[in-house]
Chain A
Amino acid sequence: MFRYILKRLLALIPVLIGVSFFIFSLLALTPGDPANIVLGADADEAAIKIFRTEQGLDDPFLVRYARFVYRAVAHGDIGRSYATHRPVAAEIVTVFPTTVKLASLAVLTAVVIGIPFGIISAVKQYSVLDSVTMILAMVGVSMPNFWIGVLLILFFSVHLGWFPSSGFDTLSAMILPSVTLASNTLAIITRMTRSSMLEVIKSDYIRTARAKGQRESVVIWKHALGNALIPIITVVGIQFGHLLGGAILTESIFSVPGLGRLMVDGIKSRDYPVVQGGVLYIALMFALINLLVDLLYAWVDPRIRMRYR
Chain B
Amino acid sequence: MAIVRKNSNLHLALIRLRRNRLALLGLAVLFVLVFTAVFADFIAPYDYAEQDLLESFEPPSRAHWFGTDEFGRDILSRVIYGGRISLQVGIVAVALALFIGGMLGAAAGYYGGRVDEVVMRVMDILISVPRILLSIAIAAVLGPGMLNLMIAIAIAATPAFARVIRGAVLSIIGNEYVEAARCMGATDTWIIVRHILPNCMGSIIVLTTLDVATAILAASSLSFLGLGIQPPYPEWGAMLSAARGYLRDDAYMTVFPGLAIMITIMSLNFLGDGLRDAFDPKQKR
Residues of A within 8 A of B (CB): 14-15, 18-19, 22-23, 26-27, 29-31, 138-139, 141-144, 146-147, 150-151, 153-154, 158, 195-196, 198-199, 242, 244-246, 248-249, 252-253, 260, 263-264, 267-268, 275, 279, 282-283, 286-287
Decide if B138 is an interface residue (CB 8 Å cutoff). yes
Q: Contact at B237–A144, with CB atoms within 8 Å?
A: yes
Which of B133, B221, B244 makes the CB contact (< 8 A) with A263?
B133
Q: Would you give 15 A-B contacts (Cβ < 8 Å), ordered by A?
A: A18-B125, A19-B129, A27-B137, A31-B141, A142-B269, A144-B240, A150-B244, A150-B258, A153-B247, A196-B284, A198-B285, A249-B132, A249-B221, A260-B133, A282-B133
Q: Contact at B240–A150, with CB atoms within 8 Å?
A: yes
Decide if B145 is an interface residue (CB 8 Å cutoff). no
Decide if B53 is an interface residue (CB 8 Å cutoff). no
- Give Cα A144 to B261, complex, Å: 7
Leading 3 A-B pairs by shortest Cβ distance: A245-B130, A195-B284, A147-B258
- Give Cα A275 to B134, complex, Å: 11
A249 partner residues in chain B, CB cutoff 8 A:
132, 221, 224-225
Which of A29, A158, A248 makes the CB contact (< 8 A) with B132?
A248
B248 partner residues in chain A, CB cutoff 8 A:
158
- Give Cα A23 to B136, complex, Å: 12
Which of A27, A29, A283 makes the CB contact (< 8 A) with B129?
A283
Decide if B36 is an interface residue (CB 8 Å cutoff). no
- Give Cα A26 to B125, complex, Å: 13
- Give Cα A250 to B180, complex, Å: 55
A244 partner residues in chain B, CB cutoff 8 A:
130
Q: How many B residues have CB within 8 A of the partner chain?
A: 42
Which of A26, A147, A153 makes the CB contact (< 8 A) with B261?
A147
- Give Cα A199 to B281, complex, Å: 12
Decide if B12 is an interface residue (CB 8 Å cutoff). no
A30 partner residues in chain B, CB cutoff 8 A:
140-141
Q: Contact at B121–A14, with CB atoms within 8 Å?
A: yes
Convert B115-131 into 0s and 1s, putting 1 for each residue whose CB lies closer than 8 angstroms to a CB of A. 00000011011101111
B217 partner residues in chain A, CB cutoff 8 A:
144
A143 partner residues in chain B, CB cutoff 8 A:
258, 261-262, 265
Q: Contact at A139–B262, with CB atoms within 8 Å?
A: yes
Decide if B254 is an interface residue (CB 8 Å cutoff). yes
Decide if B220 is an interface residue (CB 8 Å cutoff). yes
Q: Contact at A146–B141, with CB atoms within 8 Å?
A: no
Q: Contact at A142–B137, with CB atoms within 8 Å?
A: no
Q: Contact at A267–B136, with CB atoms within 8 Å?
A: yes
Give the Cβ gap from A63 to chain B, nearest Cβ, in Å: 21
Decide if B266 is an interface residue (CB 8 Å cutoff). yes
- Give Cα A142 to B26, complex, Å: 12
A147 partner residues in chain B, CB cutoff 8 A:
240, 254, 258, 261-262
Chain B stretch 212-260: residues in CB contact (< 8 A) with chain A: 213, 217, 220-221, 224-225, 237, 240-241, 243-244, 247-248, 251, 254, 258
- Give Cα A151 to B136, complex, Å: 24
- Give Cα A143 to B213, complex, Å: 11
Decide if B270 is an interface residue (CB 8 Å cutoff). yes
- Give Cα A282 to B132, complex, Å: 13
Q: Contact at A275–B137, with CB atoms within 8 Å?
A: yes
Q: Contact at B262–A279, with CB atoms within 8 Å?
A: no
Which of A144, A151, A153, A245 makes the CB contact (< 8 A) with B133?
A245
Closest to B258 in A: A147
Decide if B112 is an interface residue (CB 8 Å cutoff). no
Q: Contact at B136–A18, with CB atoms within 8 Å?
A: no
Give the Cβ gap from B132 to chain A, nearest Cβ, in Å: 5
Which of A242, A245, A268 makes the CB contact (< 8 A) with B140?
A268
- Give Cα A68 to B125, complex, Å: 19
- Give Cα A308 to B16, complex, Å: 40
Q: Contact at A142–B265, with CB atoms within 8 Å?
A: yes
Closest to B282 in A: A199
Q: Contact at B143–A31, with CB atoms within 8 Å?
A: yes
Q: Contact at A283–B251, with CB atoms within 8 Å?
A: no
A264 partner residues in chain B, CB cutoff 8 A:
136, 225
Q: Contact at A283–B128, with CB atoms within 8 Å?
A: yes
- Give Cα A29 to B236, complex, Å: 29
Give the Cβ gap from B271 to chain A, nearest Cβ, in Å: 12
- Give Cα A7 to B137, complex, Å: 31
- Give Cα A166 to B70, complex, Å: 24
Give the Cβ gap from B235 to chain A, nearest Cβ, in Å: 12
B263 partner residues in chain A, CB cutoff 8 A:
142
